[in-house]
């Protein structure tokens, strides 16, 4: 049986596998909750994306905010991806894998002076500016460092990406970018700044977008700005459409990447500059699961509950967006014959992984897999309730690697001290 847009998580003899490794073998060895990723998925997805746009000059920057596991970053980097980093912490991680700063772009709506300085000192390929105040700040820091900052402006095309409001970023009401109308003025102003070299125009309209039309509409709007700037003598060498390409969690029907390419390549050819992409979720989501063990089951007159050891601290999306994640048993031993809420042990009513889900009857010790957890899973995890973050395993065919171990309680005390004077 094939699962969810991915040929790497499959059932063989009713047992769930990641590539050639049985999920329950990994949970027996490493315990639960446990993130499991497939190298094949990441690789195939990246190459598919690259192939779809092969006829144009382009670079794919992996949006590492979706999954900042060092080895996952390195898998994409080694395939030729650049990396889109959204903070000093992500930049630090990218440098840790040995990434060439010339393949890094620094993005984010509220980069601090220290973050901008870190980007400039490391000579990253470009820094994206999201407000006039930020451009002034970049110019000032670049002057202090005696460098010229390569800067692209994130323009907000005011197009509805038709996705969840919390992950809609390209509408004028959202905090991101600069409205297209104001962008020209800002480019003119920035072009006069001594320590700024304007290199491109960028957008990112939202996440989990399943239709091509918001991309086409936004690219057309930004292309107008691009050509207007050209007429004004401001020549840009790249056009970045951000990320946001949607994936299957349940029954969505997202566009194929080839369809996006077919619609955008004619516009890109007219632009005649380097095209940049920043996909995150598309490259990682269906390449990972969170395996979790059933602790207890219980029922009242209204509901069945399956209490598992995974929680909102591991996969937060259901709690904050009401997001749907398919949940599959690691071993199929019956029909989906009950309806249950699958909940974690955290002291919050919002701590659930699934609501009213049809699933086979479970008992303590059974292992369930929260599917599509390769993106915005571990990166959004927390230590709430002093829970330890799970390990992350990467499977490569019939081998598996512990890329990060389970946190210890000592990890949670890192740099925290009892101050004796406070307790005199
Ligand atoms: C600027 C930027 N680029 C890329 C991404 C990646 O988006 P996705 O994972 O939906 O592809 C995000 C996500 O928030 C973003 O803010």
161 belongs to a structural domain: yes
Position 142 pLDDT exceeds 90? yes
Give the domain extent around 148: 107-279
Instruction: In whole angstroms, give the CA distance from residue 56 to residue 137.
Output: 34
82 belongs to a structural domain: no
Q: Which of 237, 253, 279 is the last residue of a domain?
A: 279
Ligand 1 atom index nearest CA of 245: 11
Nearest-CA residue for atom 14 of ligand 1? 207
Ligand 1 atom index nearest CA of 66: 9
Q: Which of 279, 298, 313 is the last residue of a domain?
A: 279
pLDDT of residue 264: 98
- Give the mean pLDDT of 58-73: 98
Q: What is the pLDDT of residues 75-88, one digit of tens each?
A: 999 999 999 999 99
Q: Do 272 and 305 belong to one domain?
A: no
Q: Do 184 and 272 belong to one domain?
A: yes
Q: Do 325 and 178 belong to one domain?
A: no
Ligand 1 atom index nearest CA of 375: 9
The encoded tokens of residue 241 equal 């459409």
pTM: 0.96
**Pocket residue to mutate for ligand 1, from 76, 86, 286, most atoms within 8 A of Cβ:** 86
Position 5 pLDDT exceeds 60? no
Q: Do 275 and 293 belong to one domain?
A: no
| Residue 20's CATH number | 2.40.37.10
Distance 105 CA to ligand 1 centre (A): 12
Q: Do 27 and 167 belong to one domain?
A: no
Max Cα-Cα span within the chain: 73
pLDDT bucket at 103, cuts 50 / 70 / 90: very high
pLDDT of residue 33: 98
Q: Are 32 and 67 in contact (CB under 8 A)?
A: no
122 belongs to a structural domain: yes
96 belongs to a structural domain: no
Nearest-CA residue for atom 5 of ligand 1? 243
- Give the mean pLDDT of 359-384: 97
Other Cβ atoms less than 10 A from the Cβ of 240: the count is 26
Nearest-CA residue for atom 4 of ligand 1? 243
pLDDT of residue 165: 67
Ligand 1 atom index nearest CA of 244: 10
pLDDT of residue 237: 96
Using a 10 angstrom Cβ sphere, with 0-12 exposed, 13-18 middle and 19 or more buried, the burial of residue 413 is exposed
The alpha helices in 249-345, defined as continuous H runs, are 257-271, 281-284, 317-321
pLDDT of residue 181: 82
Q: Do 246 and 300 belong to one domain?
A: no
Q: Do 369 and 301 belong to one domain?
A: yes
Nearest-CA residue for atom 16 of ligand 1? 204
Distance 388 CA to ligand 1 centre (A): 27
Nearest-CA residue for atom 12 of ligand 1? 243
pLDDT of residue 166: 63
Residue with the two structure tokens 């970018």: 177
Using a 10 angstrom Cβ sphere, with 0-12 exposed, 13-18 middle and 19 or more buried, the burial of residue 216 is middle
Distance 215 CA to ligand 1 centre (A): 14
- Give the mean pLDDT of 343-363: 96
Q: Do 376 and 240 belong to one domain?
A: no
pLDDT of residue 42: 98
Q: Do 254 and 361 belong to one domain?
A: no
DSSP-derived secondary structure for 59-124: EEEEEGGG---HHHHHHHHHTT-EEEE-SHHHHHHHHHTT--GGGEEE--TT--HHHHHHHHHTT-
74 belongs to a structural domain: no
pLDDT bucket at 334, cuts 50 / 70 / 90: confident
Annotated active-site positions, please?
347
Position 167 pLDDT exceeds 80? no
Other Cβ atoms less than 10 A from the Cβ of 386: the count is 9
Distance 243 CA to ligand 1 centre (A): 5
Q: Do 254 and 171 belong to one domain?
A: yes
Ligand 1 atom index nearest CA of 279: 11
**Pocket residue to mutate for ligand 1, from 63, 161, 208, most atoms within 8 A of Cβ:** 63
Average pLDDT, rounded, for the chain: 95
15 belongs to a structural domain: yes
| Residue 187's CATH number | 3.20.20.10
pLDDT of residue 137: 97
Q: What percent of the chain has pLDDT over 90?
A: 90
Ligand 1 atom index nearest CA of 169: 16
Q: What is the pLDDT of residues 175-231, one digit of tens each?
A: 677 888 899 999 999 999 999 999 999 999 999 999 999 999 999 999 999 999 999
Q: Which one, of 26, 32, 30, lies nearest residue 9 by Cα?
A: 26
Distance 365 CA to ligand 1 centre (A): 37
Distance 277 CA to ligand 1 centre (A): 10
Q: Which of 261, 279, 297 is the last residue of a domain?
A: 279
The sheet that has 2-3: what strands, in order across it? Answer: 2-3, 6-12, 15-18, 21-22
Position 1 pLDDT exceeds 60? no
**Pocket residue to mutate for ligand 1, from 61, 62, 66, most atoms within 8 A of Cβ:** 66
Instruction: In whole angstroms, give the CA distance from residue 219 to residue 268.
Output: 9
Q: Do 258 and 305 belong to one domain?
A: no
Ligand 1 atom index nearest CA of 128: 1
The encoded tokens of residue 44 equal 């195939």
Nearest-CA residue for atom 1 of ligand 1? 204
Distance 192 CA to ligand 1 centre (A): 30
List ligand 1's pocket residues with C-beta within 6 A.
Answer: 63, 65-66, 84, 107, 204, 207, 242-245, 278-282
The encoded tokens of residue 204 equal 């990112």
Q: Do 289 and 269 belong to one domain?
A: no
314 belongs to a structural domain: yes
Number of domains the chain contains: 2
**Pocket residue to mutate for ligand 1, from 169, 201, 207, 211, most atoms within 8 A of Cβ:** 207
79 belongs to a structural domain: no
Distance 153 CA to ligand 1 centre (A): 16
């Amino acid at each position: 049986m094939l699962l969810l847009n991915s040929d790497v998580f499959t059932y063989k003899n009713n047992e769930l596998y990641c590539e050639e490794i049985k999920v329950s073998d990994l949970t027996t060895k490493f315990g639960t909750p446990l993130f499991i990723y497939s190298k094949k998925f990441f690789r195939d997805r990246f190459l598919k994306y690259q192939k779809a746009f092969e006829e144009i000059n382009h670079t794919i920057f992996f949006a590492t905010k979706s999954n900042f596991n060092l080895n996952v970053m390195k898998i994409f980097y080694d395939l030729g991806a650049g990396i889109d980093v959204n903070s000093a912490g992500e930049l630090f991680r990218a440098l840790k894998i040995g990434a060439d700063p010339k393949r890094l772009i620094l993005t984010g709506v509220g980069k601090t002076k220290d973050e901008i300085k870190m980007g400039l000192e490391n000579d990253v390929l470009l820094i994206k500016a999201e407000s006039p105040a930020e451009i002034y700040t970049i110019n000032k820091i670049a002057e202090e460092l005696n460098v010229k900052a390569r800067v692209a402006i994130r323009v907000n095309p005011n197009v509805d990406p038709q996705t969840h409001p919390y992950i809609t970023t390209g509408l004028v009401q959202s905090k991101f970018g600069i409205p297209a109308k104001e962008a020209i003025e800002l480019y003119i102003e920035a072009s006069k700044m001594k320590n700024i070299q304007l290199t491109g125009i960028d957008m990112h309209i939202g996440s989990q977008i399943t239709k091509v039309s918001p991309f086409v509409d936004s690219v057309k709007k930004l292309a107008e700005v691009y050509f207007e700037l050209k007429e004004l003598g401001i020549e840009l060498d790249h056009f970045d459409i951000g990320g946001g390409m949607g994936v299957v969690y349940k029954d969505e029907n997202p566009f194929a990447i080839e369809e996006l390419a077919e619609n955008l390549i004619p516009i890109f050819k007219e632009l005649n500059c380097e095209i940049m992409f920043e996909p995150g979720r598309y490259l990682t989501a269906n390449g990972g699961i969170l395996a979790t063990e059933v602790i207890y089951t219980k029922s009242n007159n209204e509901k069945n509950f399956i209490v598992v050891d995974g929680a909102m601290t591991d996969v937060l999306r259901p709690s904050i967006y009401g997001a749907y994640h398919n949940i599959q048993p690691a071993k199929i031993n019956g029909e989906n014959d009950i309806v249950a809420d699958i909940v974690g042990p955290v002291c919050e009513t919002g701590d659930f992984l699934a609501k009213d889900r049809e699933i086979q009857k479970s008992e303590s010790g059974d292992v369930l897999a929260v599917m599509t957890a390769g993106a915005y899973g571990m990166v959004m995890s927390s230590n709430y309730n002093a829970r330890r973050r799970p390990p992350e395993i990467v499977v490569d065919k019939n081998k598996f690697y512990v890329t990060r171990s389970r946190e210890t309680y000592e990890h949670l005390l890192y740099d925290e001290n009892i101050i004796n004077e406070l307790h005199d």
